[in-house]
Chain A
Amino acid sequence: MSLALACPECGSELATPLLCERCGTLLDPATPPTPFAVLGLEPTYALDLGAATKRVLALSRALHPDFHANAGDELRRRAQDNTAALNAAFQVLADDARRADWLVRDLGGPAEDQERAMPPAYLEEVLEWNEAIEEARGSAAADSPARARLAPLNERLEQERTKTLRRIAALLTPLPPRGSPALRSARQELNAVRYLDRALRELGELRLATRV
């Protein structure tokens, strides 16, 4: 996506709506730019994380409030706002699930409160996993069999998360058209990721508690 925007100060073409890298002017984008636009990228699911990280660090070097600490109020505010926009964009882009979530919404797909279901294949397993976690929580003894099963369960859920993200990648590559049923499927898979993240967090806490 070419921004086709020019710097109001020097007229050169912009690679990000936050800053003119030619003349160093901090810009004031009228409408909040999308996470992809901030880095001058086309919206796609595939992302080169290494290149994106390098780009964010380079932009931070120009935008960060630390380097404008002695400027006037207006410039300081822009440095703060634009760095915040850059950081917020990177938070979405760098995380596979959040990037997918943003794309599904952007293409008019259902939000999580409009489509709460998980893919049907999960239902039975979720019951089983919940039971295992519940059992481990109930047994305080560190050497109980329920607690001993936590490590393999953790690994199993991690694998499941990787597989689910792979399915999401397939659903969103290339990006489906607006209104495509693939968006609903992607939302259901994202709901599964959310469940898995919560379960993994809980497992992490339980495993910490057993180590003492």
Chain B
Amino acid sequence: MPFLELDVLNAPGRPTLGIDLGTTYSLVALWRAGRPLVLRPKGRRDGRIPSAVHFPASGPALVGWPARERTTTDPGRTIFSIKRFMGRGLADARADLDAVPFRARESATGVIQFEAGGRAWTPQELSALILQEVWRTACEALGEEAPRRAVITVPAYFDEAQRAATRDAARLAELEIARIVNEPTAASLAYGLEQKREGIVAVYDFGGGTFDVSILSIEGGVFRVLSTAGDTHLGGDDLDRALVELALAEAQPGAELATDAAFLQGLRLAAEHCKIELSSREESELHISAPEKRLSWRRSVRREEFETLLRPYLQRTLDCCARALHDAKLSPEKIGEVVLVGGSTRIPAVRAAVERFFGRKPHCELNPDEVVALGAAVQGHVLGGGTRELLLLDVTPLSLGLETMGGAVSKLVQRNAPIPCQATETFTTYADNQTGIDFHVVQGERELAKDCRTLGRFKLRGIPPLPAGMARVGVRFALDADGLLAVTAREESTGVQATIEVQPKNGLTDFEVERMLKESYAHAREDFDQSRLANLRIEIGTMLRALEKSLPGARAELDRETLRDIEEAITRARAAERTSDVKAVQALRDELERAALPLAAVLMDSVAKAALQGKKLSEV
């Protein structure tokens, strides 16, 4: 059996998921049969999973599509854009907090906590809920237990604290991180694999909440990042917000509504809809209503008008492109190909601006929503031992350094240095008989420590008493392939060593992660059943509504037996609200779907019939 032998030779070592944990949507992909594939539950065309969590008035949180569906009926209980809060403190996130319908406070280590569903949630825990939903989706698509090992992508411009928060979210979701990969780099892998081209490539990644641009050289299967630049606070969300502000300024809903989270959430969705429509039409309508306040306001928005709102954001992305080119020591005409990634690159004005800037038509053959997850799956294949044909060489986006006397920064690792990477610098004492030195680790490009982001502080003790300037303390920074930092310090004459895991200022301690994990074990089974139950009830509700609408018109076309079958299934399914046995509710749902199949067939008109053959009612 030559085929079997070949299969053994090519056996990928350890299957590893590729997960794009996005601001608005997340996706999961896996290397299968020689290529990366987005994992979608059977019958679903859209592989996206909304990065949203809904806290119903009672019961456990809903994640993904059920959360998104609830936002129209119950907008005041859903949290979006959790990624914007990862590794951030209250002070960093003021503007974004306005869009969250829950009260926020800050833990002792500067981690944001939202009060929802009767407890406090950190962004790490909320992201873990999303990752669990992503993993469940993978299981459902594969029809078996999915790998627990994953490559997870982050914006290239994510700093240390944001990366550490992502790592902790994965731990809380009980996923093993094989590697944290930068989103534009992952995209380039998927692109390079597809196009099999070599040369210099620019990846322009304008997503839901973040912007990145990376310049890469692809040569003999080696994908080498030359430079990256970006803004972790610039994305499609901002464009929605610009429309929201336009509506608020013109509609004048009054102070009470303008600060009402539920109202704002609804308005945000309307703005998003308007924005998306303007990519394919010249004009769209922005509509807001609050019947209880007798407010109903609508206005048409022309594409031109939206492009004026868009301009300052677009300019910021182009500034980043200029910076990345400068750091790569390249001019725009040296760029061989431009690849577009992220939903915001569907906007025609964005495409036109990118084309003008680089002087060439950007590639958009690959689905901009899926390309990052696909690339992550490719990297998962490499890390699983599946191939040595491809190699990714990435860089760190921001300089790393230590505060020196006088508040200046001594940079140990320059931005755009390839990772993994290490650097050592020697410091000395400034007073006689000084036995300790405090270190302040910072990240950023500014000259003064106070203008950079604090990653952490540590103290080296036990330096032997010596005259000022005699002790020699070597501080070593080691940046691993995930872009995470470890710092060690050592007094050279005595060998006194202090190893410090830099505790990110806005991060969880190991102890906190452990505690959260224990708590979630205790609740896991119960939570899982509860959320499964809630999802099933939502599905049944959707099917029942569809049946109510379509059954009367189709009665004549159905035989008596089928009709009785459907009606009985409906009656039984209506009782689903009263039982809390997951298995029983699942059976009711399946029964309803089966009974309604003949109806689905009848409903297809003659034109659609061929195309929809075999689809279930829940998908029509």
Contacts and interface: CB of A to CB of B under 8 A. Distances in A.
Interface of A: 57, 60-61, 64-67, 69-70, 80-81, 83-85, 87-88, 90-91, 204, 208, 211-212
A80 B393 CA distance: 13
Contact of B421 (A57, A66, A84): A84
A211 to B, nearest CB: 8
A66 B423 CA distance: 21
Contact of B418 (A61, A87, A212): A87
Contact of A87 (B14, B322, B383, B419): B419
A70 B312 CA distance: 46
B468 to A, nearest CB: 15
Interface stretch (B20-28, B345-353, B475-483, B597-605): B475-483
B384 interface: yes
A74 B414 CA distance: 28
Contacts of A211: 315, 319
Interface in B416-445: 417-423
A80 B14 CA distance: 20
Which of B13, B315, B418 has the largest count of A CB atoms less than 10 A from its CB?
Answer: B418
Interface string B378-394: 01001111001001110
Given A66-B383, A69-B385, A70-B384, A83 B224 contact: no
B478 A91 contact: no
A91 B391 contact: no
B276 interface: no
Contacts of B13: 70
Interface string B1-36: 000000000000110000000000000000000000
Contacts of B392: 66
B326 interface: yes
A83 B382 contact: no
B388 A67 contact: yes
A81 B319 contact: no
Contact of A91 (B323, B388, B418): B418
A16 B50 CA distance: 49
Given A57-B224, A66-B179, A87-B420, A80 B315 contact: no
Contacts of A69: 178-179, 383-385
A211 B317 CA distance: 13
The secondary structure that dominates the A interface is: helix
Nearest to A80: B420
B568 to A, nearest CB: 55
Contact of B420 (A83, A90, A91): A83
B408 interface: no
A81 B512 CA distance: 29
Interface string B346-388: 0000000000000000000000000000000001001111001
A54 to B, nearest CB: 9
Contact of A208 (B322, B393, B479, B481): B322
Nearest to A57: B222
A90 B322 CA distance: 24
A202 to B, nearest CB: 10
Given A81-B422, A87-B421, A208 B384 contact: no
A78 to B, nearest CB: 12
B385 A70 contact: yes
Contacts of A60: 222, 391, 393
Shortest 4 CB-CB contacts between residues of A and residues of B = A84-B422, A84-B420, A87-B418, A69-B383
Contacts of B577: none
A98 B479 CA distance: 20
Interface residues of B, number: 35
Contacts of A88: 421-423
11 contacts: A57-B224, A57-B393, A65-B481, A70-B13, A80-B480, A80-B481, A81-B478, A90-B418, A208-B319, A211-B319, A212-B315
B219 interface: yes
B25 to A, nearest CB: 27
Interface in B528-580: none
Given A70-B384, A84-B479, A212-B312, A65 B420 contact: yes
A60 B319 CA distance: 32
B18 to A, nearest CB: 14
A204 B320 CA distance: 12
A69 B381 CA distance: 11
A204 B326 CA distance: 9
B178 A85 contact: no
B14 A61 contact: no
Contacts of A67: 382, 388, 391
B414 A66 contact: no
Nearest to A95: B414
Contact of A66 (B14, B391, B418): B391
Contacts of B224: 57
A66 B185 CA distance: 15
Nearest to A204: B326
B14 A84 contact: no
Q: Max chain B CB contacts within 10 Å: which of A69, A80, A90?
A: A69
Contacts of B478: 80-81, 84
A88 B384 CA distance: 27
Contacts of B417: 87, 91
Contact of B391 (A61, A70, A204): A61
Nearest to A86: B418
Contacts of B312: 212
A88 B414 CA distance: 11
Nearest to A198: B447
Contacts of A84: 419-422, 478-479
A61 B414 contact: no
A66 B312 CA distance: 40
Contacts of B379: 66
Nearest to B392: A66
Contacts of A87: 417-421
Nearest to B445: A201
B564 to A, nearest CB: 58
Contacts of A91: 414, 417-418, 421
A208 B320 CA distance: 10
A194 B322 CA distance: 22
A70 B481 CA distance: 15
Contacts of A66: 179, 379, 382-383, 391-392, 481
A81 B481 CA distance: 10
B283 to A, nearest CB: 27
A90 B417 CA distance: 10
A80 B483 CA distance: 12
B396 to A, nearest CB: 10
A70 B421 contact: no
Nearest to A67: B388
A85 B420 CA distance: 9
A84 B479 CA distance: 8
A119 B315 CA distance: 40
A87 B356 CA distance: 35
B189 to A, nearest CB: 12
A150 B416 CA distance: 26
A116 to B, nearest CB: 14
Contacts of B479: 84
